[in-house]
Homo-oligomer: A and B are copies of this chain.
């Protein structure tokens, strides 16, 4: 059984692995009541749109039967900051309906994406989104989730997070959400900088923490994951614990090297080598992310402490090796010259 109201009953679904990119649908705001709204375009409207100034695609327009097969979701983006807006832009381009919430007034940005902006969480929850996407900073995630009037949502809502650590939001969701709610923990391992030319080949990790058995719940989760598959992401299913262990090396270490080097205030010179330019780029890329993110990676990933200690130990060992060799050479000269003096005497 499909999620009622989400997919027109006369269509079938694309396989999850399909990467066929659909022509972006122009967003049409349909006032939402309790029911899930589906912005479906008729064949004639679609044809006209594709010929009259729609964005140029690198593939031929697909026959409508393929386009129609897609599940359209109503996605509430809680935390409509830099990263939330970055994700919402692609969600909207794929034809999903976006409800944006932030304490900061981003109503203009929301409008430019065809998204509805809410400054009141109760109003937003009463729109009954299919998916509530938590895209706050790691540090504020708990406070924001606790403030959300989840009693106004439908009991079958799918909660998704996109935080850069995974065990922490997983435990938060399991602790604070009633058992009726579905939970999908995800980590798109890219951002506005690394993903500015598209998401193809970029890693996307997910863990289906709690997805109900019914077809509609399975289908809703699949439809959300398909957003990233359609963009060509390298999707990887991995437990939250395994993610955090692996990501400590991948993310926290990379950010630490970048931020430690930033403290050295490195300059570009006329004799930069390729390796050195790698370091300069690393500083620039890691420091373009917020310090809050870096702090969150440390505080909310228990593997980070061990990793930074290992890094410190490795640097100490390297220093010892270098200085011992230097002192060895010095002592050799010292004893050789005193030996010469002894022989000459």
Q: Does A215 contact B (CB under 8 A)?
A: no
Contact with B along A269-313 (1 / 0, CB 8 A): 111111110110110011000000001001100000001101110
Taken together as a complex, chains A and B put the C-alpha atoms of A318 and B271 apart, in Å, by 29
CB pair A299–B281 under 8 Å, yes or no, is no
* Smallest CB separation, A205 vs chain B (Å): 6
Given known A-B contacts A236-B270, A254-B276, A273-B251, A322 and B310 have beta carbons under 8 A apart: no
Cross-chain contact of A203 among B259, B270, B295, B329 (Cβ < 8 A):
B270
CB pair A247–B271 under 8 Å, yes or no, is yes
CB pair A246–B264 under 8 Å, yes or no, is no
Residue on B nearest A322 in the bound complex, by CB: B298
CB pair B254–A194 under 8 Å, yes or no, is no
Q: Does A334 contact B (CB under 8 A)?
A: no
Contact with B along A248-260 (1 / 0, CB 8 A): 0111011111111
Cross-chain contact of A194 among B247, B261, B274 (Cβ < 8 A):
B274
Cross-chain contact of A250 among B246, B247, B271 (Cβ < 8 A):
B271
Do most interface residues of chain A lie in helix, strand or loop, or is the interface mixed?
helix
Residue on B nearest A271 in the bound complex, by CB: B203
Contacts of A270 on B, CB cut-off 8 Å? 203, 234, 236, 238
CB pair A325–B311 under 8 Å, yes or no, is no
Residue on B nearest A298 in the bound complex, by CB: B322
Given known A-B contacts A234-B270, A312-B315, A299 and B260 have beta carbons under 8 A apart: no
Q: Does A319 contact B (CB under 8 A)?
A: yes
CB pair A273–B189 under 8 Å, yes or no, is yes
Interface residues on A, range: 35 or more
CB pair B276–A285 under 8 Å, yes or no, is no
Taken together as a complex, chains A and B put the C-alpha atoms of A314 and B203 apart, in Å, by 30
Taken together as a complex, chains A and B put the C-alpha atoms of A299 and B333 apart, in Å, by 14
- Chain A to chain B contacts (Cβ below 8 Å), 27 pairs: A194-B273, A194-B275, A236-B270, A238-B270, A238-B271, A243-B271, A249-B264, A249-B266, A249-B269, A250-B272, A253-B261, A253-B276, A254-B276, A254-B279, A255-B275, A261-B314, A264-B307, A275-B282, A295-B322, A295-B325, A298-B322, A298-B325, A298-B326, A299-B325, A299-B326, A308-B318, A312-B319
Supply 8 further A-B pairs (C-beta < 8 A) apart from A247-B271, A254-B279, A295-B322.
A190-B274, A203-B270, A249-B269, A249-B276, A251-B273, A251-B275, A260-B315, A275-B285
